[in-house]
Amino acid sequence: MFLRKIVSTFVCLGLFGCFGCVSGMENVKTIAIKEGTFQCDQSIMSYKLEITPSSSRNKINVLCHIQDSSQDGSSSDESGSLSLDIKYKIKNALWVNDAECVDTFLEDVSSKIVSLKGNAPSCDIMNKISDNIFSMKSKIVNTVKQFRKIKDMKGIQNIVFEGLDLNGDFLYCFNRVIIDPLCTIKFTNCKLQGKVTFAEILDSCNVKNLSIINCGLTDDDLINVLRRVGNTDIDTIDVSDNLLTKDVIPELDKRINSRGMSINRGGINLRGNEGITNEDIIQYGMEDLCHV
């Protein structure tokens, strides 16, 4: 029937580190890497950009290494020599699940490094690059009136619904607009109205990354969503800060197995549901899939 994907805004939170190594750069799962070299005056500069997950929800780390390669192997103390590692933290970076967005982000950052003649981009520049990628393939919807004005999702891969009343009018707009598969669909601080359910909204949707955050989602709501969502190959499910209990954990296992579902990179985020602890997840043998 219809598919949707969720997207999140990404904001560069800060710039950490300076000259020397950034702690934690080793033994971290890498999402993407880009390396390159370029001429800067009389020097040959090299750079390496690495995107890794963050321990904080919906955030990523961007590790930037810049090296004056012409000084490799020398003991020169010239001020022109350069070797630095900088760690940027970017929040709500759901664009990282879209390979095209990741490639564009890395290309834009590397171009900026070249234009800055080997200097590291500022936090504001990284934030602007992220914002541009978000606006390129994503929409944020704050009112049903705003949603009505969207005629189609051409070129859009991610959509975020924030603080909406999910009523019959919303459902009509959703079914009219959300037709093709999406990378990300995200509901944040939304409220179901009348007889509308998330299972009804997401019926037959094809979405790789689904978030329903702080929306009063119950155990039955989540199981029904998994029963009716269109695709069985999903990267991430974020149902944090809802009303879920530990009883949903074995039901998740049954539903995923019965449909032959595959939950890939991000697993299922159950954080912020007071009825679920890490011990509950371990008890049901779901620690490889679920996390709090």
Indicate the domain borders of the chain: 11-134, 136-291
Q: What's the CATH superfamily of 136-291?
A: Ribonuclease Inhibitor (3.80.10.10)
Could you give the CA distance from residue 235 to residue 199 in angstroms, rounded to a whole number? 19
Q: How confident is the model at residue 28 (pLDDT cuts 50, 70, 90)?
A: low
* Collapsed DSSP state (helix, strand, coil) of residue 212: strand
For the segment 142-149, the average pLDDT, to the nearest whole number, is 94
Which of 204-218, 236-250, 255-269 is predicted with the least confidence, judged by mean pLDDT? 255-269
Could you read off the pLDDT of 172-197 as tens digits, one per residue? 999 999 999 998 999 999 999 999 99
Rounded to 5 degrees, φ, ψ at 257 are -70, -40
**pLDDT > 50? residue 94:** yes
Sheet holding 158-162, edge to edge: 138-141, 158-162, 182-188, 207-213, 233-238, 262-269, 290-291
CB 188 within 8 A of CB 217: no
Question: Which secondary structure element, helix H or strand E, spans residue 265, and what is its range?
Answer: strand 262-269
Could you give the CA distance from residue 226 to residue 287 in angstroms, rounded to a whole number? 19
Closest C-alpha among 122, 192, 194, 208 to residue 159: 208
Highest mean pLDDT among 16-30, 38-52, 97-111, 178-192: 178-192
Exposure letters 149-169 (e unless 16+ CB within 10 A, then b): eeeebeebbbbbbeebebeee
Could you read off the pLDDT of 109-121 as tens digits, one per residue? 999 999 998 888 9
Rounded to 5 degrees, φ, ψ at 112 are -65, -40
pLDDT of 82 reads 63
Could you give the CA distance from residue 148 to residue 193 in angstroms, rounded to a whole number? 17
